[in-house]
Amino acid sequence: MAIDDGQLVLHFQPQLHLVDQSLSGMEALVRWNHPRLGLLAPARFIPLAEDSGLIWPLGLKVMELAIAQMAAWRAQGLTVPRVAVNVSPMQLRPELVDAIAEILARHGVPAECLEVELTESALTADGPAVNGLLKALRDMGVSIAIDDFGVDYSSLTLLRRLPISALKIDRSFVAELPANRQDVAIVEAILTMAHSIGLRTVAEGVEHTEQNVTLGVLGCQEGQGYLFCKPRSAQDTLAWLNATMNPLEAVTAA
């Protein structure tokens, strides 16, 4: 796998505050621009990278690209509050903390601009070691979100024990809103629980206006999904950011 010759690229998907549609962050989603096969989705190669051990250098490359992109947006005066980077369980080694600190410092990006997304299975892996690592990241200023919340073994103890900042509600709970009353109740319960212990909430896979409206009524704070914007290349993301932040200029230029 070609980690160092520019074949790994990041696409970015906006995360919006549901109350006013303002930007809360950008999730970085890796793709492999394969010379023969074209642009490959992460499901095609992340599991292979995990099995072969390549996930460590791959993960560092993704972190490097995401933070470099954040530095570029900041240098261009674009207000992107945060970039969210998916981290595989196998990247949760003690060295990760220093590696992230070094990348942030080299690009002059504050740690508060970075969110790490971890799935619940990553968090249950090795209790004490993971706990220490996440605390070190949190003490540095990096926030931690649980990705795909609700599909794995959701242990409420995890939420109490670990320094989590946000829950990303898995898109399977969002898909049938508002028609599926059971899903409405589940999402409502997740939101109540999350807010009462001070966690931010982000709904994944928001595709339709009715889902957006329902999530807003239920009090979900942020959303991400095709309704707002599909993941896009860095270049297309820049155009989206410019159009979103300077809507009048975008219309005049068109």
Contact residues for ligand C2E, defined by CB under 6 A: 13, 29-30, 41-43, 46, 62, 86-88, 117, 147-148, 171, 204-207, 224-226, 231
> Dihedral, CA atoms, 197, 202, 205, 207, nearest 10 degrees?
120
CA distances from 207 to 92, 108, 212 (A): 32, 35, 8
Judged by beta carbon distances under 5 to 8 A according to partner kind, the member of Mg ion, ligand C2E, none in contact with residue 16 is none
Residue that is written with structure tokens 């090795």 in the block? 126
CA distance 49 to 51: 5
Q: How far apart are CA 234 and CA 10, in angstroms?
A: 7
Please, which residue, 12 or 73, has the CB nearer to ligand C2E? 12
**CB of 232 within 8 A of CB of 27?**
no
Contact mark string toward Mg ion, 114..133, x via CB under 5 A:
---x----------------
CA distances from 196 to 70, 103, 141 (A): 31, 34, 22
Residue with the closest Cβ to ligand C2E? Answer: 225
Nearer to ligand C2E, 13 or 221 (CB): 13
Nearer to ligand C2E, 139 or 230 (CB): 230
Residue 29 C-beta: closest distance to ligand C2E, Å: 4
User: By C-beta, is 30 or 250 nearer to Mg ion?
Assistant: 30
* Radius of gyration in angstroms for the set of CA atoms belonging to the chain, rounded to a whole number: 18
Burial class of residue 37 in the structure, from the number of CB atoms within 10 Å of its CB (0-12 exposed, 13-18 middle, 19+ buried): exposed
Q: Which is nearer to ligand C2E, 39 or 217 (CB)?
A: 39
- Binding test (CB under 5 A) with Mg ion, winner from 115, 120, 147, 222: 147
Q: Which partner in ligand C2E, Mg ion, none is near 205 (CB below 5 to 8 A by kind)?
A: ligand C2E
Give residues in contact with Mg ion (CB under 5 A).
86, 117, 147-148, 204
